[in-house]
Amino acid sequence: MAEAAGEPVVAGGGDIGGKTTQELIAQVDIFAGLPPVHLRRVVDIGLEETFKRGERIFSEGDAGDKFYLILDGAVRISRFVTGIGEEALAVLRAGAYFGEMSLIDEAPRSATALAHERCQLFVVNRADLEDLLFVDRDLAYELLWNLVRTLSRRLRATNDKMTFLATTNKF
């Protein structure tokens, strides 16, 4: 995905309405390739939440204990930069997900998430997911492997951006 320097990334597949939550999560990288029985188990532990435009989903520094998948609408991920203010890192749309780092560690949130427009999110609590993964080792293996691939892809993209910034003296 191309992005102009200083502009937020726009990710996700746009409106993917008219499908069940199970059908929606099956289209997302982190759940790709999971059999229907595993998808159903994930849907069973999650819940849907709606946020109004401008409503804060979480703030940088908050405890991270949930993972979010955008079913409809858009979410802005940003950080506060001293002397500058809010710096938008990404605008995520339906089909995108965020907060997955909280599934791995107990570190505070690394950015702020705001409803860029009214949005409907599928939310999974870390404790519920850990319980599920403890009792279903096959699901745990598949899901964690997908998560590793996702984080690897994001790290590579960050490395590419850092290289670009370093070679264009924009550091």
- Give the tens place of pLDDT for each residue, 33-76: 999 999 999 999 999 999 999 999 999 999 999 999 999 999 99
Query: Percent of the chain at pLDDT above 90?
Result: 54
What is residue 151's predicted lDDT score, i.e. its pLDDT? 84
| Confidence band, pLDDT 50/70/90 cuts, at residue 137 | very high
- Place domain 9-163 in its CATH homologous superfamily: Jelly Rolls (2.60.120.10)
Cα(114)–Cα(83) distance, integer angstroms: 21
With 0-12 CB in 10 A as exposed, 13-18 as middle and 19+ as buried, what is 46? buried
What is residue 17's predicted lDDT score, i.e. its pLDDT? 56
Whether the per-residue pLDDT at 10 is higher than 60: the answer is no
Query: Percent of the chain at pLDDT above 70?
Result: 88
Q: Which of 7-11, 45-49, 103-107 is predicted most confidently? A: 45-49
| Confidence band, pLDDT 50/70/90 cuts, at residue 80 | confident
Instruction: Enter the tokens of residue 25.
Output: 């999560």
What is residue 171's predicted lDDT score, i.e. its pLDDT? 53
What is residue 142's predicted lDDT score, i.e. its pLDDT? 92
Cα(56)–Cα(112) distance, integer angstroms: 8
Whether the per-residue pLDDT at 7 is higher than 80: the answer is no
- Give the H or E element holding residue 152: helix 137-167
Q: Which amino acid is at 155?
A: L
Q: Is residue 119 a contact partner of residue 56, using CB atoms and an 8 Å limit?
A: no
What is residue 11's predicted lDDT score, i.e. its pLDDT? 45
